[in-house]
Structure 1
Amino acid sequence: MLSKEAEKFLTEFRLEMMAHGKQDEAIDDMEAELEDHLIQAEQDGKSVKDVTGGSVKEYIKNISGEMPVVNNIKRYITLFIVYLAGILTVPSLISGDFDWTLSNILYYAAIIILGPLLIYYGFKYVLVNFASFKSEKIELKGTILIFVFSFLYMGLLVGSLLLVRNYPLVTFFDPSSSFNITIGFILLAVLVIGSLIMRQWFYAFLAFGLAAPEIIAQIFADGGPQSENYIIISSIVLLVFATLLFVGMYLKNRKDAQKNN
């Protein structure tokens, strides 16, 4: 039976290896080997530090050369950042309400660059301290922290967006709604077709689903994005899409669980 300290080290080891783009099979093998060493060390009265040096990053440096790297991991990270930028901006563009200001561009750049880092380190902290990959369970404290983190993160996004709209800093140009909509549809086509070419059906569905509320509202609502009809229609469509997405993910996870059992 491993100590809490050893379990935390193993969890952080797996997360760091995944972040470094190591192959799952290699991670499983090295984690199992490390676990055996830690179990034996604790039986001999030794600590985690005696076996690993105490630092996950230093330990990884010593063994990472022995582990194969997933091909093109940097390319996939770059593609993901481009995709993230697209799904964040396309709905605003299609609504015709995108602001070409310095503060708006900085806002989206911060979301694309800093957002994934905040999410990674936030969830890493919870997984390392309050979860186990073996049992696939998260402690109640971890669940509460995830809820609090998600609430604060969404509050930061909404609050920052209000600041951006009130303080544009510099307006580069003020194009017509038709220009924004055209750019939005072009980017949407690139995202969906690119995802389909790479056989990433979920990402294609996600990109189209997030843009669908604005597309349908543009067709059926009277008035622009600020009108009551537009807001109601786009909100209903977004709710329907979110429901379909969560139901689909639930059914897929249930099917995968049944297959594994």
Structure 2
Amino acid sequence: MLSKKSEQFLNSVRMELMKQGKKDEDIEAVTDELRDHLTQAEKRGKSVESITGGSPDAYINSISKEMPFDHSFIKTMIGALFAILAFFTIPRLVAGQFEMSVERLIFYGILIVILLPLEFWLLMTMLKKYGHTRQGYFAPLLIAFLGFAVILAGEFYLRANEGASIINLDMHMSLWLGLILLLLFIGFCAMHKAWFYIGVMVYLVLPDLVARILTDQPAGSKEFVNISSSIFLMLSVVALVGAMAFYSRFKKNSH
């Protein structure tokens, strides 16, 4: 077993190389080799500094320069951006309340171009710094919560200050367009085995889809909101239980 400091250094190497868009197999090869070096060094009574020369960041950068950039990383990021755009639009289409204003377009653009890359950078930085510690487990939750708070604040602001719609679909056209895009999204994600994106989309769409099936009232009506909120609450409980079970298993396997 490596010391806590060595494990932290390995985690920093992995996170930094991921952040710089290196290939997964190259990252695993480098960290496995580095783990062997650290293991042998600790057996001889040496520390991480003996491997890094006293500058972990410089050592990581020197490794990174020798590794090719993973161009599929760009495709992954582009795919993630399109997925997020779908998360914003498809649920609203299915609910039958799709309206788009200039202000909302600008808001969604800020989320995709600024907020999401910033969240990714913060997540990688925090995981690199704290690794498998209490702070390391807490960091993703905190970053996700802050991002959600920004989105929620933006939605409330738009509802109070949004201008005239430049796109406005009637309820039935909105629903059918949403269902078509939903099937295309699920099919595309299934082809690329992006099961996480499918899970998120189902979580976002299912409450409004069930409400739309059970009532013909507008999306803002009390009946529609009550049905949608009930389904959303049930799904949230299931997701929370699943996340806690996953966290418990992950923590157990990490020891």
Give the shorter-chain TM-score range: 0.7 to 0.9
Provide structure 1 residue ranges, at least 5 long, that are not aligned to the other structure.
133-137
**Structure 2: how far apart are the matches of 1:142 and 1:256?**
13
Residue of structure 1 in register with 2:100 after alignment: 100
Residue 87 (structure 1) shift = 1.9
Q: Is the alpha carbon distance of 1:238 and 1:180 closer, same or farther for their aligned partners in structure 2, counting shifts above 3 Å?
A: same
Contact 2:52 2:59 in 1 (8 A): no
Identity across aligned pairs (percent)? 20
**Structure 2: how far apart are the matches of 1:147 and 1:192?**
26
Contact 1:13 1:56 in 2 (8 A): no
Is the partner of 1:172 in helix, strand or coil? strand
Q: Which amino acid aligns with 2:126?
A: V
Residue 200 (structure 1) shift = 3.6
Q: Is the alpha carbon distance of 1:166 and 1:48 closer, same or farther for their aligned partners in structure 2, counting shifts above 3 Å?
A: farther
TM-score, length of structure 2 as denominator length? 0.77
Contact 1:52 1:59 in 2 (8 A): no
Q: How does 1:1-261 map to 2 (within 5 A)?
A: 4=5, 8-35=8-35, 40=41, 43=46, 50=53, 54-55=57-58, 58-65=61-68, 72-132=72-132, 138-139=133-134, 141-143=135-137, 145-169=139-163, 171-221=165-215, 223-247=217-241
**Structure 1: how far apart are the matches of 2:104 and 2:188?**
26
Q: Which amino acid aligns with 1:81?
A: L
Provide structure 2 residue ranges, at least 5 long, that are not aligned to the other structure.
none
Residue 162 (structure 1) shift = 1.5
Deviates more, 1:40-49 or 1:159-168: 40-49
Contact 1:193 1:204 in 2 (8 A): no
Contact 2:49 2:56 in 1 (8 A): no
Contact 2:123 2:139 in 1 (8 A): no
Is the partner of 1:235 in helix, strand or coil? helix
Q: Which amino acid aligns with 2:214?
A: F
Residue 25 (structure 1) shift = 3.8
Residue 106 (structure 1) shift = 1.9
**Structure 2: how far apart are the matches of 1:71 and 1:246?**
35
- Paired residues, number: 251
**Structure 2: how far apart are the matches of 1:44 and 1:209?**
47
Residue 74 (structure 1) shift = 2.6
TM-score, length of structure 1 as denominator length? 0.75
Q: Is the alpha carbon distance of 1:206 and 1:169 closer, same or farther for their aligned partners in structure 2, counting shifts above 3 Å?
A: same
Is the partner of 1:213 in helix, strand or coil? helix
Contact 2:17 2:64 in 1 (8 A): no
Deviates more, 1:19-28 or 1:78-87: 19-28
**Which structure is higher in RCO with an 8 Å CA cutoff and minimum separation 6?**
2
Residue 225 (structure 1) shift = 1.5
Residue 172 (structure 1) shift = 1.9
Residue of structure 2 in register with 1:135 after alignment: none
**Structure 1: how far apart are the matches of 2:245 and 2:49?**
45
Deviates more, 1:32-41 or 1:160-169: 32-41
Contact 1:38 1:51 in 2 (8 A): no
Q: Is the alpha carbon distance of 1:7 and 1:180 closer, same or farther for their aligned partners in structure 2, counting shifts above 3 Å?
A: same
Q: Is the alpha carbon distance of 1:56 and 1:163 closer, same or farther for their aligned partners in structure 2, counting shifts above 3 Å?
A: farther
Is the partner of 2:29 in helix, strand or coil? helix
Q: CA RMSD for the aligned pairs?
A: 3.8
Deviates more, 1:151-160 or 1:8-17: 8-17
Residue 160 (structure 1) shift = 1.1
